[in-house]
Amino acid sequence: MRIFKNILYASTGLHDDIEGLKHALALAHTNSIPLTFFLTFPQLGGAQQSYQEKFAAFLALEAQTALQKARAALMLEDDMPPVTFIVEDDQKSPVNSIVRQVQRNKHDLLIKEAEPQEEPGFKTLDMTLLRHCPCSIWLAQPISRAHQDVRVAAAVNPESQDQVYRDLSLWILEVGRTLANHCSGRLDICSCWDFEFERYLRGSSLADMPDRNILSAVDYAEATHFAELNNLIHEAGIDEPFHIHRLKGRPEDRIPAFVRGRGIDILVMGSMSRTGITGFFVGNTAEDIINQLNCTLVALKLTGSTGSTAAL
């Protein structure tokens, strides 16, 4: 199983949630891998500039307190796992600082508390990170359930013929299985299928296709998807228990509804990124899904040699 080798936990120092920090500590501790706590914040301007040093010291103290609370919640010793602590004030943007830190130290997983908001989706800072950060991203939302009751889902596309996308789906299943093993134990696997010409054939007088032929085509599309999904799960080699959900319709419609309806706490899904160009991207369908989520998101990116899963 592929293993994350270098985790970055990033904080802007403005929120009290520690859900993501607990996950970062657990991953680092269980797998004996490096963890860096990166605190970044803007420089004070104008009349407040003279308070910059005190402000930095205050945020650093708050971050250390959060680290102690997270360790205590996991019943870890005060110095376990070891954490490298970096504080940086930046005149431009926390996104620039975080991405620069990821690139400079070749981190393969970024964990961050999601910026709080009442509506589904993620705020601009988090969405910008999803688009531009070259490594996988874990955006943690507060979870009210006990850890052993946390519900994990993995969203995959088994029908892509592109090997890169297939590798990404296999990795999503591995990560989902690993997370579920340390939560409720059950993994929900969801995948969307559709016969894209069905609406045209049913609504077009020009097509003039008998209903039985349309139904046969729809049934064939569903059966093909189910076979590909079973092959993907078999290839991933993941253990039960898991429950398969075949959702008919567009992913941007069905996956957010599935997450809400099933009360999913953590969704593992993929987002593609390209290296060698200035910007990285999530992808239109993935972004449409993400904009409707109200759960913790683990967005995996395959970027050449980057990428892996870790046992919690």
pLDDT tens readout for residues 182-223: 888 999 999 998 866 556 555 555 556 666 666 777 788 889
Q: Determine the average pLDDT of the residues in 248-258.
A: 93
DSSP H/E element including 247:
strand 242-248
Q: Determine the average pLDDT of the residues in 70-83.
A: 92
| 246 occurs within a structural domain | yes
Determine the structural domain holding residue 194 and report its residue range: 7-300
Identify whether the C-beta of residue 169 lies closer than 8 Å to the C-beta of residue 157. yes
| 305 occurs within a structural domain | no
| 311 occurs within a structural domain | no
State how far the alpha carbon of 85 is from the alpha carbons of 7, 38, 61, 107, in Å: 12, 6, 11, 15
Identify whether the C-beta of residue 306 lies closer than 8 Å to the C-beta of residue 271. no
Q: Determine the average pLDDT of the residues in 8-14.
A: 90
List the one residue out of 295, 312, 283 whose CA is nearest residue 122. 295
List the one residue out of 46, 45, 44 whose CA is nearest residue 59. 44
| 211 occurs within a structural domain | yes
**What pTM was computed for the model?**
0.87
Return the higher-pLDDT residue of 136 and 194. 136
| 2 occurs within a structural domain | no
List the one residue out of 128, 137, 125, 126 whose CA is nearest residue 270. 137
CATH number of the domain residue 42 falls in: 3.40.50.12370
Question: Six-digit token pair at 85?
Answer: 């602590």
Number of domains in the chain: 1
Give alpha helix (H) positions in the chain: 19-31, 52-73, 94-105, 124-132, 163-181, 198-203, 211-236, 251-262, 284-290
| 230 occurs within a structural domain | yes
Question: Six-digit token pair at 199?
Answer: 């609406």
| 309 occurs within a structural domain | no
